[in-house]
Structure 1
Amino acid sequence: MLNARIKLRHLQAFLEVARHRSFVRAAERLAITQPGMSKTIRELEEILGAGLFERTPQGVALTQAGLTLLRHAGPALRALEEGVGAIDDTHRGTRWLRVGALSTVESRLLPEALRRWHAEGAPHGEVGVNVVTGPSAFLLSRLRRGELDLVVGRMTEAREIHDLAFEHLYYERLLLVVRSNHPLAGVDPLPAEVLAAYPWVLPPPQTTLRQQVDSFCVRHALQLPSRLLETLSLPLSRGYTLVSDAIWVAPEEAVTDALARGELDELSLALERQGGSVGLCRNASLQPSLALEAFCETLREVATGDGGITPRL
């Protein structure tokens, strides 16, 4: 049974400090003073008989007890919010799915799934879809806290996935692509060392996609040039690549159409052979709604090429 001394304000304060890794920012988020925030956390720690945070040079970090509480408190509050929201949705006739999308599915898989979802009419009533983009670590942490219902994309290399439920859909490669008429287009064999003479467009550090780039560089004893554009923005990456001599480390899905039209060329030197696993990640501690199950099934249908994309399985 839940200790009657634990109040909703205690859990809200705990989740905000865990989210922002800062008492100051958490206090601002909840519109209370920093001493008030510190007192609330101290009360919760006294009730639980365990420290939840420890101070570090970067701010505050969760203790093991804090990590355990986070794993359960986030989904619990999320379920409560859903219950309150469902009452309001009954009057407005609208519900929402919160989906986290990695850049690897922004161009084809997710747009096609959303098109089909809306064209066929969302089952179980009117259901809107709110899509949040960003790095895998950011999205998976929100999924773990119950702030997202689903994360879609290539993420099997992510450390943050270990306690979440991942379902494989297909494999997708990262490609080295350049604009048509680029000096390296059509060069085969292509020595790895010549790549350092050109600007690169690549995922930021601390992302699962960047890990593959780093592995490629180690295999070929290649040092990245100083002229780098680090971004997860597909429109920016594509636009810069088309007007420059840059080499773009691109998700295959994002450049398939441009390669077919001849706007971009894939370099003959492969960055990786099979690619990474693209799939669905859910928080197993949360009971999925019927709408979420139906949306996941739509994603599966599109992923297997049933009227949608035809990826590498």
Structure 2
Amino acid sequence: MLNARIKLRHLQAFLEVARQRSFARAAERLAITQPGISKTIRELEEILTASLFERTPKGVALTQAGLTLLRHAGPAIRALEEGVGAIGEARDGERPLRVGALSTVESRLLPEALRRWHAEGAEHADVGVNVVTGPSAFLLSRLRRGELDLVVGRMTEAREIQDLAFEHLYYERLLLMVRAGHPLAGVSPLPADALGAYPWVLPPPQTTLRQQVDSFCLSHALVLPARRLETLSLPLSRGYTLGSDAIWVAPEEAVEGSVAAGELCELALPLEQQGGSVGLCLNATLRPSLALEAFCERLRQVAASLK
């Protein structure tokens, strides 16, 4: 337990003297007198019953006890300053959250998290949410530059994730979907070479989802048909598939409602077994606001209900 006699002014003075290696310079930085800072350090040493500094020809140096305190006091004070700053941002009104969303979370995870945010987030009711969609490379590059606060979706295969912080939420598969009544609906076992006779709807080249499609085609010795629609738009993909004999490579969550309504059905040929990791990606070099932390918690709650 922290000794109640140790005050914030003691730790601030200690850290400044440790940084400046000089009582005089530390006093100047803190806008107090040199006798005043000497007295504050002396009080802290009496409380700890340990000497924190020793005089050298070049000023002062930390003792072993001083080094030990520095390792712990520095991060503690920085965390306290960040917390006070975050509360100030919340009080004064924060800018909108900037969320990057991949197509894998546009149908269930993100809409439900936003609904809960607006229904339950009274503490952050004045914080809006700005959602940007697109391929993972585009969204992750914006996150790295600080232009987004968060990216949500399936992205662990993306090269651009590199030094960003990823948190896994759940796995989701890509499915081969067709309209109800399609010639291949209900065919089991379904030979892979039968797929080439129909148009495909699939993610564009150079996307992480397309990499999975390419792997599937390679393993089944398939060549993608010339008749294909390449898009990340879920409404366009669904509309085209419902009105044609196309085969749609679709994220599982994007077709759940259409399957339940009897509009779409899955072909009896799995594109992948476990699926990819859907999660949250943050820029660890940026301090998260209280609103961002609260929104991430909404996403975790919704994800737990989808597993």
Q: TM-score, normalised by structure 1?
A: 0.68
Equivalent residues of 1:123, 1:294 under 8 A apart = no
| CA displacement 1:135-176 (0-9 Å, x = unmatched) | 000000000000000000000000000110000000000000
Confirm or deny that 1:95 pairs with 2:95: yes
| CA displacement 1:14-50 (0-9 Å, x = unmatched) | xxxxxxxxxxxxxxxxxxxxxxxxxxxxxxxxxxxxx
Residue 114 of structure 1: how far off its partner (Å): 0.1
Give 2:203's aligned amino acid.
Answer: P
Give 1:191's aligned amino acid.
Answer: P
Corresponding position of 1:304? 304
Q: Residue 128 of structure 2 aligns to a residue in which SS?
A: strand
Q: Residue 222 of structure 1 aligns to a residue in which SS?
A: coil
> 5 Å matches for 1:1-313?
90=92, 93=93, 95-124=95-124, 126-305=126-305, 310-311=306-307
Residue 290 of structure 1: how far off its partner (Å): 0.7
Residue 122 of structure 1: how far off its partner (Å): 4.4
Equivalent residues of 2:167, 2:281 under 8 A apart = yes
Describe the shift of the 1:248–1:125 C-alpha distance in structure 2 as closer, same or farther (beyond 3 A).
closer
Residue 257 of structure 1: how far off its partner (Å): 1.1
Describe the shift of the 1:107–1:125 C-alpha distance in structure 2 as closer, same or farther (beyond 3 A).
closer
CA distance in structure 2 between the partners assigned to 1:291 and 1:94 by the alignment: 8
Describe the shift of the 1:231–1:156 C-alpha distance in structure 2 as closer, same or farther (beyond 3 A).
same
CA distance in structure 2 between the partners assigned to 1:121 and 1:152 by the alignment: 19
Q: Residue 123 of structure 2 aligns to a residue in which SS?
A: coil
CA distance in structure 2 between the partners assigned to 1:213 and 1:175 by the alignment: 10
Could you say which structure has the larger radius of gyration?
Answer: 2
Equivalent residues of 2:202, 2:228 under 8 A apart = yes
- Segments of 5+ residues of structure 2 without an aligned counterpart are 1-85
CA distance in structure 1 between the partners assigned to 2:98 and 2:132 by the alignment: 8
Q: Residue 235 of structure 2 aligns to a residue in which SS?
A: helix
Count of aligned residue pairs for this structure pair: 221
Identity, % of aligned positions? 81
CA distance in structure 2 between the partners assigned to 1:125 and 1:94 by the alignment: 10
- Segments of 5+ residues of structure 1 without an aligned counterpart are 1-82
CA distance in structure 1 between the partners assigned to 2:260 and 2:187 by the alignment: 18
**Cα RMSD for the two superposed structures:** 1.7
Describe the shift of the 1:229–1:121 C-alpha distance in structure 2 as closer, same or farther (beyond 3 A).
same
Give 1:179's aligned amino acid.
Answer: R
Residue 260 of structure 1: how far off its partner (Å): 1.3
Equivalent residues of 1:139, 1:151 under 8 A apart = yes
Give 2:189's aligned amino acid.
Answer: P
Q: TM-score, normalised by structure 2?
A: 0.70
4+ long deviations beyond 2 Å: 121-125
Equivalent residues of 2:118, 2:125 under 8 A apart = no
